[in-house]
Amino acid sequence: MLITDILDRNARLYEKETALVERDPEVDIRREITWETFREQSLRLANGLRSRGIKKGDRVVLLMKNCIEWLPYYFGILYSGAWVVPLNFRFLADTIHYCCEISEAKAIIFGQDFIERIDSIKHYLDQTITCYIYVGQPDQKPIYAIQDTTFINTNSPDEIDIDIQLSDEAGLYFTSGTTGSPKAVLLTHRNLEASCYIENHHHHQIHSDNFLCIPPLYHTGAKMHWFGNFIVGAKAVILKGIKPQWILEAISEEQITIVWLLVPWAYDILLAIEKGSLDLKNYDLSFWRLMHIGAQPVPSTLIHKWKQVFPHHEYDTNYGLTEATGPGCVHLGIGNLHKIGAIGIPGFDWEMRIVDRNMADVPLGEPGELIVKGPGIMKAYYKNEEETLKTIQKGWLCTGDIARIDNDGFVWLLDRKKDIIISGGENIFPVEIEDFLMKHDLIQDAAVIGIPDERIGEIVTAIIQFKPGMNMTEHDVISFCQGLPKYKRPKKIFFDDVPRNPTGKIEKPKLRKKFGGISTYFKR
């Protein structure tokens, strides 16, 4: 079933029920739309795009921060038969130009925050883009763009008679580009459909559930987790802001049942409770049944602390990547708290293996590359056959992550291939050291990289961020790290903020550039 068909069904079954809520606590604004309005806005946009010459297979860029219009416009692009191209809102102008050029976009829908960036590259974009749709305050609208509300209101909400198959291409998702130019991941309608079933199978959403969406919607993670609610016509709340108080207020006032958090936000909530700036007695959290985390390695210490504060919560860790249509190819699974720290077992309808550089299975317990096979595997890296052939081999997606499987069949993520430190001939996995450092009560965040050394190749280097108001010395860290094997102990220590991208991943290229580290790649 196409996900546009699912929206059609939701509009029939739950016509007047609330589909989406937007909360912007910074300006104290709350908006909501019904399933009927959601579908109508999507179809009006689709008909408008068709009237502007957008046809099946054309590409339409979606460049907006999270807002209540984001998902209806996403679906409108799909209704039109075009490919949706969601872009990272942190991309600078040159990267936006690059993505538009690779995708040969015919139209772009952009928010008010991006006017300056679009203005600076418009003379390049005009080579392919013929339709600019602006979402924002009318008095800020560029002269070359049409206001989204005008575009929506002047077009028909009628259904579009167009033949779209599950095997057809649906979207281009550009990777974050932290190690170079972002690659364009080509996903099909079948990929999107599979995500709905996988997410719902893992977290058992029913129509009365309410999902709190905080991460950016351009990323597969946030949207594909919402898909589990979407497939049963359940409500979702889009929260603009990540302050712990705002998160708990939304959960309390909207009767949220499911929250997907990134590691830093979970730490921030626990820290605010610990400091007394958040008092749980001020919030009704009785509806909240599930907290799950993904997008990055999850320290086991975090979840143990979380369960002490929220003992009734169900918990799941979700592993995925854009090339697998987001989360779910591997997950811990609700009820497997005895395996906290592992990323888990194969997701619904997925298989996995741990292999060496020759794609042969490694012995049980030995480290190797995690590869997966399932319905979410991308069709290709668009216009990049060489990388596609490297990444998809005999139907298996090579994740680039180093992992091991324990005796119970659970996968433990060790690190990215490119992040492994080779020191004195030993392979050292930074995630293990980061997890250890995070056990210290004064440390809020930690990153571990390798920096070059002529004698042993690379030196283990730790970047440590304290909790607010706390402090440590280098000697304190060295003493604490005596609990690690000698070859894993950091030889250099820096005290600084740990940069993370919008999906919570540590931006190690920035740290390598700042502190002199290098990236080590294994050759397959």
pLDDT of amino acid 523: 26
pLDDT value of residue 63? 97
The CATH number of the domain holding residue 469 is: 3.30.300.30
Q: How far apart are CA 343 and CA 411, in angstroms?
A: 6
Residue 272: per-residue pLDDT: 93
Quick: pLDDT tens for 365-409: 999 999 999 999 999 999 999 999 999 999 999 998 889 999 999
- Asked if residue 238 is part of any domain, the answer here is no
Residues of the chain with pLDDT > 90: what percent?
A: 73
pLDDT in tens, 270-316: 999 999 999 999 999 999 999 998 766 677 888 999 999 999 999 99
CATH number for 63 = 3.40.50.980
Q: How confident is the model at residue 182, as a pLDDT?
A: 81
Distance CA 296, CA 337 (A): 18
Instruction: Report how far residue 157's alpha carbon sits from residue 160's, in angstroms, rounded to the nearest whole number.
Output: 9
Return the pLDDT at 132: 98
* pTM for this model (two decimals): 0.84
* Domain interval for residue 454: 423-515
Place of tokens 């030889």: 491
- % residues pLDDT > 70 (the chain): 94
CB 225 within 8 A of CB 260: yes
User: Would you state the structure tokens that stand for residue 377, as one six-digit string?
Assistant: 């595997």
- Lowest-confidence range among 107-121, 196-210, 420-434? 420-434
Each residue of 177-234: pLDDT tens digit? 444 578 899 999 999 999 999 999 999 999 999 999 998 999 888 899 999 999 999 9
Q: What is the pLDDT of residue 521?
A: 29
Task: Please check the confidence at residue 431 and state whether its pLDDT lies above 60.
Answer: yes
Q: Is residue 29 part of a domain?
A: no
The number of domains in the chain is 2
Bridging pattern class, strands 184-188 and 83-86: unpaired
pLDDT band at 455 (very low <50, low <70, confident <90, very high): low
Contact 429, 487 (CB under 8 A): no
pLDDT digits (tens, 9 = 90+) for 68-86: 999 999 999 999 999 999 9
Is 483 among the domain residues? yes
Would 291 be classed as within a structural domain? Answer: no
Last residue of a domain, one of 165, 186, 207: 186
Last residue in a domain, options 128, 152, 186: 186
Distances (CA, A) of 334 to 201, 291, 314, 366, 407: 11, 10, 6, 26, 19
Q: What pLDDT does 524 receive?
A: 25
Reported as a pLDDT band with limits 50, 70 and 90, residue 520 is very low
- Any domain includes 116: yes
pLDDT of residue 347: 96
CA pair distance 360, 386, nearest whole angstrom: 21
Would you say residue 346 lies in a domain?
no
pLDDT of residue 522: 29
Domain boundary among 140, 165, 186: 186
Per-residue pLDDT reduced to its tens digit, 115-150: 999 999 999 999 999 999 999 999 999 999 999 999
pLDDT-based confidence at 486, cuts 50/70/90? confident
Strands 351-355 and 368-373: antiparallel
Whether 115 maps to a domain, the answer reads yes
Provide DSSP, 152-189.
Answer: HHTS--PPP-----TTSEEEEEE---TTSSPPEEEEEH
pLDDT value, residue 518 = 42
Q: What's the pLDDT at 113?
A: 96
Strand, coil or helix: 25:
coil
**Inside any domain, residue 73:** yes
The pLDDT assigned to 291 comes to 95
